[in-house]
């Protein structure tokens, strides 16, 4: 599609003591009308899916060009046309479902559980800006027009957002036209057209060559892999969706750093003796013997934590961290059990294989009781919801239910030894009346079914490594 842009501004000011003083000081006539030319027969051809990067000094006419292109292009959306509900959690305000919402928010660097739950009005200005970009991406239009693109973001975040925006637009055949005074986004946008707007009618159009796509974000190229410690994990643990546990030991810890700052950590630990997913993959470790336990610890390691600083999410670093470090463990198999696999297939992107399996339902009877009492498991992970339901029960029913929940949950947490380890004073031995309803409501969260995906990776070099050893 070809556009021709002509934009001239006529100016004639009013006469006041101040304008007269300026006119006399600079030799300007207030009686004359002045015409300023911003674009003079400027032509531009835009193909579907083009990425167009308009840059130049402030006041040079970038926004004018963006508005002209926007007005002449059918079925488009500009950032200022987005509307949002300021009172809704942002995870509820974008995308057609939870996985799509997570994907869109990740693209713009808002991938953090606590951010997902915030209302729009509670976000910072930079976060609000990025949320508006996520809202744009879900729109069914042919082109996006964004003025002051990433201008209020720190430059590393701006580069990550620019990289992700162009990647999504190219994948979906969308045209992306952005204008900004910043000139540091070209490598990440990899634009098909660069327009450099000077003062007056000066404008330069370039069609730069870029490396074949897909390319890496420039920030990712600056990331380095180093050995890590549990102290590194502790520093980032607040950004993990399960940050309630600190490890005493680990088989391996690796970290990503960016300009000396730790931005990602992966923790490998000894695997559990039995996993349904592992047994569905291989019978090699199924037998419950000391020899099999020794073999398991020798050949298998488990990824128990992968955590990235939220600023660095969305450019594939999670998958890369797994892919880069699995061979360094020296194990035959690397496995991972995660609830995130249902919304983010980063383990598969890293080269791991998802294994379907039938989990052992240790709380099957408890869940049946809760269903009979009217529990909606959709909300069972909410302590407030569980407390509300408990308050509807009569005293006898509550006591029976609470007794079963306390015994079974603490039995599971204690490895199934509540009737064996007689010398160990266990929490479940507290009388049911010693537990508050809030405590019981929290325990119900452990009873709720969780869909956890099992992943495994087989080291193709393991046999060679074993022979060398």
List the CATH number of the domain containing 27.
3.40.50
The CATH number of whichever domain residue 332 belongs to comes to 3.40.630.30
Pair 327, 461: CB distance under 8 Å? yes
Which of 173, 188, 218 is the last residue in one of the domains?
Answer: 218
Question: Please, which residues bridge with residue 455 across strands?
Answer: 336, 354
For residues 106 and 3, state if they share a domain: no
- Highest mean pLDDT of the ranges 206-215, 379-388, 419-428: 379-388
Residue 458 lies in a domain: no
Q: Where are the beta strands (DSSP E) in 281-411?
A: 300-308, 333-338, 353-355
R_g (Cα) of the chain, nearest Å:
30
For residues 260 and 328, state if they share a domain: yes
- Average confidence (pLDDT) over 88-113: 90
Residue 149 lies in a domain: no
For residues 61 and 191, state if they share a domain: yes
Residue 146 lies in a domain: no
Residue of 420, 418, 419, 406 lying closest to 363 (CA atoms): 406
For residues 63 and 80, state if they share a domain: no
Query: Cα separation of 7 and 75, whole Å?
Result: 23
Domains held by the chain: number:
4
Give the DSSP letter of residue 82: -
For residues 434 and 321, state if they share a domain: no
CA 35 to chain centre: 49
Residue 230 lies in a domain: yes
Which residues fall within 8 angstroms of residue 124, CB to CB, at 6 or more apart? none
Average pLDDT, the chain: 88
What are 269-278's pLDDT values in tens digits?
999 998 999 9
Residue 464 lies in a domain: no
For residues 288 and 235, state if they share a domain: yes
For residues 247 and 328, state if they share a domain: yes
Q: Which long-range contacts (CB under 8 A, 24 or more apart) does 408-416 make?
A: 408/362, 408/363, 408/366, 408/447, 409/363, 409/443, 409/446, 409/447, 412/362, 412/363, 412/446, 413/446
Query: Cα separation of 101 and 89, whole Å?
Result: 11
Residue 285 lies in a domain: yes
Residue 268 lies in a domain: yes
Q: Which domain holds residue 7?
A: 1-75+154-218
Please state, for a pLDDT cut of 90, what percent of the chain lies above it: 58
For residues 102 and 127, state if they share a domain: yes
Which residues fall within 8 angstroms of residue 466, CB to CB, at 6 or more apart? none
Residue of 312, 53, 112 lying closest to 131 (CA atoms): 112
The C-alpha angle 356, 357, 361, rounded to 5 degrees, equals 145
Alpha-carbon distance values, 131 to 79, 89, 114, 127, 375 (Å): 11, 11, 14, 6, 34
**Higher-confidence position of 377 and 268:** 268
- pLDDT given at position 342: 66
For residues 173 and 120, state if they share a domain: no
Residue of 55, 76, 356, 308 lying closest to 205 (CA atoms): 55
- pLDDT band of 421, cuts 50, 70, 90: very low
pTM: 0.79
For residues 342 and 230, state if they share a domain: yes
- pLDDT given at position 353: 97
């Amino acid at each position: 599609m070809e556009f021709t842009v002509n934009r001239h501004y006529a100016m004639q000011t009013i006469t006041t003591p101040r304008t007269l003083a300026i006119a006399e000081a600079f030799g300007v006539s207030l009686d004359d009308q002045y015409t300023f030319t911003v674009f003079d027969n400027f032509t531009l051809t835009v193909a579907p899916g083009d990425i167009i990067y308009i840059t130049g000094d402030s006041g040079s006419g970038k926004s004018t060009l963006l508005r002209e292109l926007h007005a002449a292009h059918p079925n488009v959306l500009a950032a200022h046309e987005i509307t949002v509900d300021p009172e809704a959690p942002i995870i509820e305000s974008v995308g057609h479902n939870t996985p799509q919402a997570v994907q869109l928010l990740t693209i713009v660097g808002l991938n953090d559980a606590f951010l997902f739950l915030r209302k729009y009005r509670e976000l910072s200005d930079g976060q609000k800006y990025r949320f508006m970009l996520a809202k744009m991406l879900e729109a069914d239009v042919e082109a996006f027009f964004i003025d002051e693109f990433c201008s209020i973001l720190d430059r590393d975040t701006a580069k990550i957002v620019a990289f992700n925006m162009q990647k999504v637009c190219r994948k979906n055949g969308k045209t992306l036209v952005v204008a900004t005074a910043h000139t540091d986004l070209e490598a990440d946008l990899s634009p098909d057209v660069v327009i450099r707007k000077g003062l007056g009618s000066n404008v330069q159009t370039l069609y730069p060559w870029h490396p074949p796509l897909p390319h890496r974000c420039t920030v990712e190229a600056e990331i380095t892999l180093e050995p890590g410690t549990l102290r590194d994990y502790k520093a980032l643990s607040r950004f993990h969706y399960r940050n309630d546990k600190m490890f005493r030991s680990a088989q391996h810890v690796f970290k990503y750093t960016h300009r000396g700052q730790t931005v990602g950590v992966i923790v490998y630990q000894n695997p559990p003796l039995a996993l349904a997913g592992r047994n569905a993959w291989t019978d090699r470790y199924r037998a419950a013997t000391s020899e099999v336990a020794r073999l398991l610890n020798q050949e298998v390691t488990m990824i128990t934590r992968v955590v990235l600083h939220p600023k660095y999410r969305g450019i594939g670093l999670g998958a890369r961290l797994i892919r880069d470090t699995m061979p360094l463990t020296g194990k035959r198999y690397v496995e991972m059990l995660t609830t995130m696999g249902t919304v983010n297939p980063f383990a598969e992107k890293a080269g791991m294989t998802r294994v379907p399996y039938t989990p052992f339902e240790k709380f099957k009877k408890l869940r049946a009781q809760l269903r009979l009492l009217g529990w909606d498991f959709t909300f069972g992970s909410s302590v407030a919801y569980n407390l509300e339901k408990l308050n509807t029960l009569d005293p006898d029913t509550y006591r029976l239910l609470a007794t079963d929940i306390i015994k079974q949950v603490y039995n599971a947490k204690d490895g199934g030894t509540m009737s064996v380890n007689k010398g160990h004073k266990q929490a479940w031995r507290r009388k049911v009346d010693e537990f508050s309803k809030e405590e019981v409501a929290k325990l119900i969260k452990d009873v709720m079914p969780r869909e956890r995906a099992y992943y495994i990776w087989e080291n193709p070099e393991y046999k060679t490594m074993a022979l060398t050893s």
